[in-house]
Structure 1
Amino acid sequence: MSFRLERSVPGEFYESDEAEASAGIRSLIRFRRVTLQPLQQWIPAQQLPPHPKRYRLRVWREVSANLASLRDELIAYAQEALDDARFKIRRGLVDPLSPFAGDEDPAANYPAILHRVTLQGYLGETLAGLAVEHFGAFGKHDWHIPAFLFRMHNTEFQHLDLINEHLLAGGEHESDAESEKRPGRTGDDAIAFRIDDTGRITHVLTLEAKCLARNNTGTIRKAHEKLSVDQQRPSGVRELINLLSDYDTPDAEAWQARLLTFWKEGFRTAERNDGLAYAVGHWPIKDETQVSWLPADKPHEAYTGKRLLEAMEFQLEDLEGLVDALYRSQS
């Protein structure tokens, strides 16, 4: 995809946020959800055999023709997940009391101008959160994802600076050129929590997300190996605490406090669970009895963790079109 200079990037702020944005204040805690019925029509669940006690696979297969009725909501959901990354990119570089002056916005073209592989990674993490927040996990529907960890992708932020400088100088940019690929972000992809009536964290779900154009057994193996690491206190919790310290809203402060309590001592009593979100741009067709790429009857042999494991597979009919709709239609 070729880019020229964009002097404004529509869609980065939602109308309800304009007053807060003009004052330099952002409401970090995510609130957006999509309407359940069109979501289920877009990615209907596939029928699978009964699952064992400590492992469950769920499979959703896209009907791309049904995206239209959900498109705007899904775009808003995906863009909200990236808002904190934009906040970090802009922080300290713009006057919070004045609107962004076109090409002076350091977050211009984010994330649309990044390589498609990077955007697929963002999609995988977003689909993981979408499933947990709308369809639940481990039989519970009260999971919370206070923020995504896209702001930790510093390699791409440095790359974004170079791209925008090149565009400002009058150049063009081919986003999907092989030379534009950058390493993926390390660490936890997403973390969900359950809390009790007192606000104490009782359950933690660490999510590993992958999104590929074609199925790759090696990637599946590595994802399970990463989830198998014996760690009660996921590294992403520390990152979330640091992230939340940038915000002074009551919700953000409440989450920071409970996460700090979890980091210090709560991890000893909270239940740790694992989740794998695997999005792929096609589904099995050679064997009519094969519904999924991931195993349905037992965990993958590479998973050696002793925790409950929930696998979520998204079989996408039009991966390229979905990436363009969610991440490139905004620029």
Structure 2
Amino acid sequence: MYRDIMHKQAPPKATLNKWLTSYSSSKKGYGHILLEQIVPGDATIREGLRPYFESAHSDAREYFHAYAGMSLHPDAGAPGCNAKYPNCLPPKARRGVFGEVMSGLMTEALDFVGNHEWIVPVFLFRNQEDARQYIYVLSRDPARKREVLGRKGDDFIGIVVNDDGAVTRFIAGEAKWRKKWIPSVLDDVMLGTKIEVPKKSGNLVHDGKGVWFEINRALDVPIGVKQLQDILQELAPDEYANVILSLDKIQQLQNPAPSERTDLILLVGGSAAGRGEGEPLLEWETKPSQHQKNRDLQVVEIILSDGDALIDALYDSLWP
């Protein structure tokens, strides 16, 4: 039998303060936080992060292991021991989920634009269909290692709940990992990959389908809200009864209850050569003009000197 586990681990603020230094600014409708690594991501830092990451992945771990017919904590040599989630995820997928967990962690740990009190009841990793299939197959054929496809939609949704237990605001957005945030990589991520226009002209322009495109076309009430509601209904219907009811009202097609959304962009990875201390990737004094929605925007940039090693060691260490 599998236990229903909600995400209830507090963010490790002491570890963050030891690991990263912060440069923050906030104007009406726009917040920007730059975090730079100041100590190595060693075993002490990883151990500080581990409980939060285990909590973030707990629901999906139970869900995927049950689907594959695996024990929740298979012993060495037992069936499925090679396919434990999220330990078995390949490198690219690990970096993707690392960014999503960091989105939730930073939302709960830091003061974002608007100074709202954010709650992350559960992460939505169980909806990664390709990861579920990957674990099912890998548990039966250890040779079937491959990269895991990403998915459309949100893996992380934060909510603000008022005194009546009703949801009044969501936070969702985009989390991106890159090994080195050199200017050309940043432009490709934010503005889309370059294409030749017109064809055979040699003129390369961004296709306009990067992070700004995704943020600007995102629904005010994203599909992740429905997925969050479904998980709450399954795992904690009594504890979150008022939240579930308010989400019903917010998602009505006719006369929905009012709610607001904060957009989040989290960029994490290594620094470009020559980048100065405290130098941000995106505009910090005013909201970037590419953000075209009448919604609050929060940008978080995390610059790591040993991110690859930290991510792999951290994910290897989960549920030792």
Q: TM-score by structure 2 length?
A: 0.81
- Aligned counterparts of 1:303 and 1:262: Cα–Cα separation in 2: 24
1:19 aligned residue: none
Does structure 2 conserve the Cα–Cα contact (< 8 Å) formed by 1:64 and 1:318? no
* C-alpha contact (below 8 Å) 1:38/1:66 kept by paired residues: no
Aligned to 1:218: 188
**Where in structure 2 are the equivalents of 1:261-280 lying within 5 Å?**
261-264=249-252, 268-280=257-269
More contact order relative to length (CA 8 Å, sep ≥ 6): 1
Residue 323 of structure 1 and its aligned partner are, at CA, apart by 0.9
Contact map agreement 1:118 1:182 (CA 8 A) in 2: yes
Amino acid at match of 2:188: G
User: Structure 1 residues 225-234 or 261-270, which shifts more?
Assistant: 261-270
CA distance 1:303–1:235, shift in 2 (3 Å): same
Contact 1:110 1:160 in 2 (8 A): yes
Q: Flag structure 1 segments of 5+ consecutive residues without an equivalent.
A: 1-22
CA gap of 1:94–1:257, structure 2 versus 1, over 3 A, is farther
Task: Provide the rounded CA distance (Å) in 2 between the counterparts of 1:39 and 1:149.
Answer: 23
Higher mean displacement: 307-316 or 250-259: 250-259
Write the letter of the residue equivalent to 2:153.
G
Letter in 1 for 2:94: L
Aligned CA distance change for structure 1 residues 115 and 121 (closer, same or farther; 3 Å)? same
Pairwise CA distance, 1:136: 2.9
Instruction: For 1:32-47, list aligned pairs within 5 A.
Output: 32-46=9-23
Tell whether the 8 Å contact from 1:36 to 1:134 is kept in structure 2 after alignment. yes
Amino acid at match of 1:220: M
By how many angstroms is 1:206 displaced?
A: 1.6
Preserved contact between residue 30 and residue 113 of structure 2 (Cα < 8 Å): no
Rounded Cα–Cα distance in structure 1 between residues aligned with 2:275 and 2:2: 55
TM-score (norm. length: structure 1): 0.78
Match of 1:198 in 2: 164
Which 5+ residue runs of structure 2 have no aligned equivalent?
192-209
Where do 1:249-268 residues align within 5 Å?
250-264=238-252, 268=257
Q: CA deviation at 1:93?
A: 5.8
What SS is found at the alignment partner of 1:251?
coil
Question: 1:27 matched to which residue of 2?
Answer: 5
Residues matched between the structures, number: 295
Equivalents in 2 of 1:92, 1:117: separation in Å?
23
Identical positions, percent: 22
SS class of match (2:35): strand
| Partner residue in 2 for 1:299 | 287
Partners of 2:255 and 2:2 in 1: CA distance: 33
Kept after mapping to 1: 8 A contact 2:65/2:85? no
CA RMSD in angstroms, aligned pairs only: 2.9
